[in-house]
A and B are shown apart, each in its own frame.
Chain A
Amino acid sequence: MLLDSSLEDRRRERHLVAVRAGVAGVLVLLALSLVAARLVRLQVEQHEHFSVLSRDNRVKVQPVPPTRGLIYDAQGVLLADNHPSFSLEITVEKVEDLAGTINALSAIIPVDAKDLARFERLKRQRVRFQGVPLRLNLTPEEVARFSIDSHRFPGVDVRAELIRSYPRGELTAHVLGYVGRINTEEMTRIDTSDYAGTHFIGKGGVEKAHEGLLHGHVGHQQVEVNARGRVLRTLEGKAPVPGRDLHLFLDIGVQRAATEALGDNRGAVVAIDPRTGGVLALVSKPSFDPNLFVEGIAQPDYHALLYSPDKPLYNRAVRGQYPPGSTVKPFVALAGLAAGVVDASKPKYCPGAYQLPGQSHRYRCWRRGGHGTVALEQAVVQSCDVYFYDLAHDLGIDRLKGFLGTFGFGSLTGVDVAGELGGLMPSREWKERARKQPWYPGETLIVGIGQGAFLATPLQLAVATATLANRGHYIQPRVARASQVPGSRETQELPALTHPVDVGDPQHWDQVIRAMTEVIEGARGTAKRIQTEAYRIAGKTGTSQVFTVGQKESYNAARLDKRMHDHALFIAFAPVEDPRIAVVAIVENGGHGGAVAAPVARQVMDAHLGGSKLLVRGESDHGE
């Protein structure tokens, strides 16, 4: 009986659902018929009415792009400005006789072959129903001439746009970067609705790093337009939120001094205020005119920059990775003191070369005759390689890497200049990963004198020097100090990360800083030519090898091509008692750090601290 009733239930269920599905089907058909009836009414019966409305459609919503924030230096000097620019645009879809229109236009506004070539190129890549620029940078007279005749040119508009300009040109190109037209790759990264009216985006430097602050947020307006899409008047809308102005730590005076000090050399200068981590100057030479890139650089000009052997587009200050050479010795000395493997008062003996136990390879000191007996201070002052070979050997690569890492070697500083590279702090793990080889003890020695695989950017060296000047207070470097809503008084400081560097006994700072002061003031100092009465400097010279000298050879600059010459390096901070500036100068293929790079750093410090003119001593002093 039970089986019967369940069979009966199943039959009843099946019937019930089939009926319901059928009813639902009828209801669906009815509902969609209602939709279809409404469509017939709109598209057939009222078609004429809506066609007229469509032709006369007058109100549309347009995005209003925000104004990009301006950039000022520490003294309030304007470094990035917006200026209005008018361009003549043709909406190809709305023009019946394109060739005739361009002909008639060129009668009132000059159009040359270059303009036509660009127009043809952009026309092929255009988005339908969007204007293609025929002429850029119209003069006010040209705008006026076109306005009078504009009724003759349906589909042709003058568009006003704010164009970025960099009044200091080459001077700020590497640190500020520049803005340029948004490309397809960038389209995938940005919020396209927020950039609906924006045509430019930061492409490098501060402009890219602070894109979010500088750009602002899009607004909307409802505008009355005629049938051809020409705007007649604005009805209402929501104003855009303008981008925030940036106030930098960068001081254009110091920046210019650094640029001039480098002269025609290739190289980089980074100056940091140790108290704030603020970047006072960030220079890479040679430079380029960023204004060329804003509206799109012409192909030949771009190729000239791109393929120049001097690489003017390459930002050496944050992307140039150089062996730090002897400039790393103060930090290695601190590592030894902090770990207790050296005692500042206990000397080592330098016979001119160093050998690891049981190995025949001789690690040479730069002075072939040796330094004799040297303690830590003289080892830094005279840059004795053997002293640091022994120190590094006792310390070992793991502790050396760990300690130098706290100064920022081997990792990105996080500076607000886009495109920064992180250098290379060699370690066992790196060797295993990159070269599939174990670490050899001899490599530790080479790292100890800042050569070999060890690489640092000028910025990293400047940050490390500022940290030393601060006696262990590491501050993340920043170019921008604060942002500000345009027109308001209230500014908002940008935050920076900090961390302490521990060297055990604080006296270790004094010992190393005293040694660095002797580099400038001592009788045997490698940078004594830059000594000044105006303030006291602590520094360290360095040379980074471009060319590896063989075991039995010696380095002879005269025999080498100029591009194979060593790079000259110098790190310094001043005044010693109360540091207000830390500087790194690198002159590519400049030779000795003391002779070439130190005077550059001195001029930068003078510009910031207001010192006297460079006091040039005799040519008696040697580099390392």
Chain B
Amino acid sequence: MGNRPASASLESPQDPAGSGLLGRLHLDVPLLLGLLVLCAFGLVVLYSASNQDLGSVKRQLVRLGLALGLMFALAQVHPARLRSWTPPVYGLGLLMLVAVLLVGDVGKGAQRWLDLGFMRFQPSELLKLAVPMMVAWLFAARPLPPSLLRVLGAAALTLVPVLLIAKQPDLGTAILVAAAGAAGLFIGGLSWRLIMAIAAAGASMAPLLWYNMRDYQRQRVLTFLDPESDPLGTGYHIIQSQIAIGSGGAFGKGWLNGTQSHLEFLPERHTDFILAVIGEELGLVGILALLALYLFIIYRGLSIAANASDSYGRVLAGGLSLVFFVYVFVNTGMVIGLLPVVGVPLPLVSYGGTSMVTLMAGFGMLMAVQTHRKAFQF
């Protein structure tokens, strides 16, 4: 599984990331390597998915540079400081979410953007980081496992932004933020009995959720259940992406040679549906290699969580790692027809900047938790 037993690290005299140049720069070498390989893979696929538009690849590279810069900067911040920043960051995020509902720009029928004059900003992205930070902050104040009161508090701190984001409406981001809160609760030691109760309650709440969904969201769920019912509307995405992946076979049609992708059967092929291009051109082998990379990164994150020196670091690292997993699962599940279509990109591979910057910021915090560990203990 990759993570060492917790007790071993207590006695371990040597911090694995403490030596060498990268260690002094507070970079976690295995995590950094995994991320760089993943991003390189993403750029190669993007070149094909964008119809060999070098311009798109260059723009993505610039964003990647920015994202890596932010990751590096956050890796330098001591977790104790992150912890003290948590309530203001969370409060600011919440304020901006309210602002976006009042004065935000409307893009593609949803209100998500806040125009700050010099740049456009999507506040919901900040909450993907602020919610796990806040849950960690709340749980770290008292020894784990959390009391019922704290569990309810964490649930409320998660649900308020989730509802605000769902109202924009941005279902994809709402799911990710909810997952961030839930991951924090789970890692923090929410009792198994409560987990079962919540699962049961969730199942019974499903009809309520259904009535609160927008038409297009309901349509997506219906289409997911039976894509053939609407082969030209929303089902088109699902059918075409499955044809692309299925026709790729074990070894794919070859890089740049996907007919589904290049004959323009596949919509959104360089953004949310880029996995279909990978499946078509690089085959099962290509996708499994990608999943292995993701698995490696997630495990490294969980291992950092297990070995962290305090509850704040543990809950934060666990929450961030599991959000990354939810990204991967929701996107791959949607492209291969396991889950309904929601707007969640394939992390660090899909074209687009906002999610990349937030994800890398999260990995920066993970590295901070890992590399500042020793100094914090004394």
Contacts and interface: CB of A to CB of B under 8 A. Distances in A.
Contact of B189 (A16, A54, A62, A93): A16
B291 A36 contact: yes
Interface stretch (A23-31, A485-493, A595-603): A23-31
B329 to A, nearest CB: 5
A46 B246 contact: yes
Interface in A34-82: 34-36, 38-40, 42-44, 46-47, 49-51, 53-55, 57, 59-62
B246 A49 contact: yes
Interface in A324-381: none
Interface stretch (A7-15, A255-263, A314-322): A7-15
B364 interface: no
B3 A60 contact: no
B247 interface: yes
Interface stretch (B170-178, B203-211, B254-262): B254-262
Contact of A25 (B7, B186, B302): B302
Contacts of B169: none
B303 interface: yes
B143 A42 contact: no
Judged by DSSP, the binding face of A is: helix
Interface in B280-308: 283-284, 287-288, 291, 294-295, 298-299, 302-303, 305-306, 308
Interface stretch (B69-77, B83-91, B214-222, B263-271): B263-271
Contact of A129 (B186, B263, B314, B337): B263
B143 A9 contact: yes
B141 interface: no
B256 A128 contact: yes
Contact of B311 (A13, A51, A59): A13
Interface string B218-258: 00000000000001100010001011111111100000100
B51 interface: yes
Nearest to B291: A32
Nearest to A228: B263
A222 interface: yes
Contacts of A29: 1, 295
Contact of B245 (A32, A39, A128): A39
B156 interface: no
B144 A16 contact: yes
A184 interface: yes
A43 B249 contact: yes
B6 interface: yes
Given A18-B3, A43-B248, A43-B279, A57 B284 contact: no
A508 B332 CA distance: 78
A184 B53 CA distance: 11
A419 interface: no
A60 B143 contact: no
Contact of B143 (A13, A40, A129, A222): A13
A57 B6 contact: no
Given A13-B311, A17-B306, A61 B249 contact: no
A14 B3 contact: no
Contacts of B318: 17, 20-21, 24
A229 interface: yes
Contacts of A187: 55
Contacts of B299: 25, 28
Interface string A507-551: 000000000000000000000000000000000000000000000
B317 to A, nearest CB: 9
A235 interface: yes
Given A25-B302, A31-B325, A40 B284 contact: yes
4 closest pairs, A vs B, by CB? A50-B246, A54-B247, A18-B6, A9-B143
17 contacts: A12-B144, A13-B314, A14-B7, A16-B189, A22-B1, A22-B306, A26-B1, A28-B295, A32-B291, A38-B337, A47-B247, A50-B245, A53-B246, A54-B259, A57-B263, A127-B51, A129-B262
Given A18-B6, A43-B249, 9 more contacts: A14-B7, A17-B189, A21-B305, A22-B306, A24-B187, A28-B298, A32-B328, A57-B265, A236-B232
